[in-house]
A and B are shown apart, each in its own frame.
Chain A
């Protein structure tokens, strides 16, 4: 198996090298056969990567512990379903996985590339092949997953226990796949630039592939946050950890890109800017790869210290120099067709939105790099963590949400006073009323109240547009549902975008609720005792053992009640006097107004081989708030040490996910009317969204 894998990788290396040279020489010397053959070599690199991956997966299935990677990341106890997870659980395997994704999406992109890009395709292929070449090289010579052990162990070390969760089937592959897939729009744009194809031919493919990348990356991050919240038992979902940040940064830049590409598509403006955005996103993705592979900053996610750091750093620098060298070389040719007409136009709103996204990206980058900078400049170590990013990025993110309401209400070109007052009355009113009502009913924390006002403003702006469009169609005879569907269908990129905007608002609600209004208490209770926090009482009713050969594990059964605080007035006052947020009740007899809500079963495991604890929180989730119970420890005296929190609006964080995905799909769905219009033009063109099959593959 190992020999087969190594051979496949070397073959892939040779083929991608051939593709690079063939494309460039073929294009320069005008040898059509060579170009075609270089293109076909790209399908063969796909085959090589598939064979190498299959060899590794097969080694896992066969428990072939003579291969170091297999021995390090699985054992005979491992559930066979986790073979797929074990495949990318470590450094070498994850690189092979990334290469596999890259070869698949390259082949799809090349296969479906529209014919009008024929002139720039050799260059696009050469760029894709160089990147494949890099990964084939690294896997062949620096980080081979097929390295053999001198003595074959009887059993492997086992898979990292934190990875044995269904969420791990999708979160890491989506994130890694999302990061590498930024290569595709970058290759299309750069290919067009090298070929001197300055028009807007490439923007449809770049837009579609960038949205796919963006959607996959966004879904991956959301799944990661969800996984952290439900499994990691640390009570949070986003820690601004360096690895999280390096996935977020390219996503932010892609977000800017998929907005501003619409301006280029509609108005022929921002050509330079769009190319620059793709370049930045691509270089940031390389930065992500670098930091992930033994980069210089600490993270909970890093692969165990690997020596690959320097190789990936060099590749990142190479990407940077290439992307911006090319950009500067071609910049004078990337002129806008039309000029900006007004500050109050959608074009300018898009531009401001773009700069805000880039500002969040730059602040995040600064935060990630500052500890390094401090180390180098004055030899003092500092940490830059969540409190920093919350404060530095929070206001800008709120600004972006404001723009999300303002931008779509402004017309292209120039807004008239009349259209402004017509469109802004209700949203502004909704925002102001929300702030007023929240103040009136006594909600605390001014910043959060403003944020709620902004959410109301944007949500009303979107509803208003949908309402007006739907009503207009309803008047012309459609029923309401059909009218709304036709409205959305009439301009899918726009209305799909609104669905995504709604999902961002839901995310916003969750972020505001959990960040500003979380309540927490810690306590250790015996069987039969209760812990009370705010208007919840949780009673420890049962526990049991679920240890296995590789872990020591216990579960607890806890009953959740909603209480009337008046029933517990004495205890609440006593607790407050002590400065505690909650208190323990030895006598768990239900009081008058206690209402049974349900059972939860938190779980705590320890894996001696990894010296690692794994925790499943007990969560009872509603639209309003979650009661969230982390079992910190099962103590020797029979008590259980709990961290209990109330997380307001946390449900909305996860509810946003389906909207995000559906909205992205709507925006991506090929637009029939454009196809028809295009087909009337003299040159026969391919359908708009050639990359569609890829979107299905990525989402399924």
Chain B
């Protein structure tokens, strides 16, 4: 959807006034200050890697907890073992294999994407593609139906439009009754920013 938005059409004429930019700039500064918290040196220490691995291994005696989060004795021992294997120079995959060999595949907090377990990872992809696909298809179909119907229902549709418009005027007036915009101004406002007061 987003890719269909014609960014090329963006021109300077559309830029809002200085006040808006000030508002947005202020927000951006706050956001940037907050996110600079995340600046850290990139090189991951062995200890960081040990934590990352611990978060991927289940505690064998707990219910649905990783060894990273559990304080059971076996979790502590396993954490030490992870660190020991890392110090030895093992890769993450080797360390995971080490534990799978001893505790079986359920020691991994997420199944590996091979063999039968590939299903675990592929189904979500289909869900997303299928879901968005169905949504887009539905919009397309509804649009086609709309085009067919439009020829015969121009009258009705116009009435619908008018009621929307009257509601709009109603609401615009609801906010501040003293200032009554001229119909021209109101309709201009409606077309300029059709989404402002709708919900």
Residues of A with Cβ closer than 8 Å to B? 233-236, 239, 241-242, 262, 266, 269, 298-300, 302, 336, 338-344, 346-349, 351-352, 354-356, 358-359, 362-363, 366-367, 370-371, 374, 377-378, 380-388, 391-393, 395-396, 402, 406, 408-413, 417-426, 428, 430, 433-434, 437-438, 441-445, 448, 452, 455-456, 459-460, 463-465, 467-469, 471, 473, 476-478, 486-487, 489-491, 493-494, 509, 512-513, 516-517, 519-522, 534, 576, 578-582, 613, 615, 623-625, 632-633, 648-649, 652, 673, 677
Q: Is the CB of A580 within 8 A of B45?
A: yes
Query: Which B107-139 residues sit within 8 Å CB-CB of chain A?
Result: 107-111, 116-117, 119-121, 123-124, 127-128, 131-132, 134-136, 138-139
1/0 contact string of B19-55 vs chain A (CB within 8 Å): 1110110011001111111111010011110010001
| B93 adjacent to chain A (CB < 8 Å) | no
- The 28 sampled A-B contact pairs (Cβ below 8 Å) are A242-B64, A338-B146, A339-B142, A340-B143, A343-B4, A344-B4, A359-B124, A359-B128, A380-B116, A383-B108, A383-B109, A383-B111, A384-B110, A392-B124, A406-B1, A406-B2, A411-B195, A434-B28, A469-B196, A471-B20, A473-B176, A477-B178, A477-B179, A522-B47, A578-B46, A579-B86, A624-B33, A649-B37
Given the interface contacts A366-B123, A370-B120, A476-B179, does A581 sit within 8 Å of B45 by beta carbon?
Answer: yes
Q: Is the CB of B124 within 8 A of A444?
A: no
How many angstroms between the C-alpha atoms of A210 and B15 in the bound complex? 39
Q: Is the CB of A300 within 8 A of B64?
A: yes
Given the interface contacts A387-B109, A452-B35, A576-B45, does A239 sit within 8 Å of B149 by beta carbon?
Answer: no
Q: Is the CB of B32 within 8 A of A437?
A: yes
Q: Is the CB of B47 within 8 A of A580?
A: yes
How many angstroms between the C-alpha atoms of A409 and B33 in the bound complex? 27
Which residues of B are found within 8 Å of A340, using beta-carbon distances? 139, 142-143, 145-146
Q: Is the CB of A456 within 8 A of B199?
A: no
Which residues of B are found within 8 Å of A359, using beta-carbon distances? 124, 127-128, 131-132
Which residues of B are found within 8 Å of A344, using beta-carbon distances? 1, 4-5
Which of A356, A380, A519, A624 is close to B40, meaning CB atoms less than 8 Å apart?
A519
User: Smallest CB–CB gap between B52 and chain A, Å?
Assistant: 9
How many angstroms between the C-alpha atoms of A363 and B174 in the bound complex? 44
Given the interface contacts A370-B120, A421-B14, A468-B193, does A613 sit within 8 Å of B71 by beta carbon?
Answer: yes
Q: Is the CB of A421 within 8 A of B11?
A: yes
Query: Which B146-191 residues sit within 8 Å CB-CB of chain A?
Result: 146-147, 149-150, 157, 160, 170-171, 174-176, 178-179
Q: What is the predominant secondary structure among interface residues of chain A facing chain B?
A: helix
Which of B23, B87, B107, B196 is close to A463, meaning CB atoms less than 8 Å apart?
B23
Q: Is the CB of B171 within 8 A of A490?
A: yes
| B101 adjacent to chain A (CB < 8 Å) | no
Nearest first, the 5 closest Cβ-Cβ pairs linking A and B are A339-B146, A579-B46, A340-B142, A388-B110, A385-B109
Interface size on B, residues (CB 8 A): 100
Given the interface contacts A235-B69, A412-B198, does A381 sit within 8 Å of B176 by beta carbon?
Answer: no
How many angstroms between the C-alpha atoms of A632 and B37 in the bound complex? 26
Given the interface contacts A422-B14, A460-B24, does A517 sit within 8 Å of B37 by beta carbon?
Answer: yes
Which of B40, B56, B68 is close to A444, meaning CB atoms less than 8 Å apart?
B40
Which partner residue on chain B sits nearest A410 by CB separation? B195
Q: What is the predominant secondary structure among interface residues of chain B facing chain A?
A: helix
Q: Is the CB of B58 within 8 A of A385?
A: yes
Which residues of A are found within 8 Å of B36, using beta-carbon distances? 441, 443
How many angstroms between the C-alpha atoms of A356 and B137 in the bound complex? 15
Which partner residue on chain B sits nearest A581 by CB separation? B47
Q: Is the CB of A402 within 8 A of B131?
A: no
- Interface centre among B19, B110, B174, by most chain A C-beta atoms within 10 angstroms, is B110
Which partner residue on chain A sits nearest B107 by CB separation? A383
Q: Is the CB of B139 within 8 A of A388?
A: no
Which residues of A are found within 8 Å of B31, using beta-carbon distances? 434, 452, 455-456, 459
Given the interface contacts A387-B110, A392-B124, does A426 sit within 8 Å of B20 by beta carbon?
Answer: yes
User: Smallest CB–CB gap between A347 and chain B, Å?
Assistant: 8
How many angstroms between the C-alpha atoms of A605 and B138 in the bound complex? 57
Which residues of A are found within 8 Å of B110, using beta-carbon distances? 383-388, 391
Which residues of A are found within 8 Å of B192, using beta-carbon distances? 419, 422
Q: Is the CB of A649 within 8 A of B124?
A: no
Which residues of B are found within 8 Å of A649, using beta-carbon distances? 34-35, 37-38
Which of B24, B116, B136, B194 is close to A412, meaning CB atoms less than 8 Å apart?
B194
Which residues of B are found within 8 Å of A339, using beta-carbon distances? 142-143, 145-147, 149-150
Which residues of A are found within 8 Å of B196, using beta-carbon distances? 465, 468-469
Q: Is the CB of B24 within 8 A of A490?
A: no
Which of A343, A516, A677 is close to B1, meaning CB atoms less than 8 Å apart?
A343
Q: Is the CB of B19 within 8 A of A471?
A: yes
How many angstroms between the C-alpha atoms of A395 and B121 in the bound complex? 13
- Interface centre among B79, B111, B134, by most chain A C-beta atoms within 10 angstroms, is B111
| B197 adjacent to chain A (CB < 8 Å) | yes
Which of B38, B48, B132, B139 is close to A520, meaning CB atoms less than 8 Å apart?
B48
Given the interface contacts A358-B131, A362-B131, A384-B110, does A486 sit within 8 Å of B175 by beta carbon?
Answer: yes
Q: Is the CB of B170 within 8 A of A673?
A: yes
Which residues of A are found within 8 Å of B132, using beta-carbon distances? 352, 355-356, 359
Given pairs A346-B198, A491-B197, 9 additional interface contacts (CB within 8 A) = A339-B142, A352-B132, A362-B127, A382-B117, A419-B192, A441-B36, A522-B47, A576-B45, A624-B33
- Interface centre among B24, B32, B36, B55, by most chain A C-beta atoms within 10 angstroms, is B24
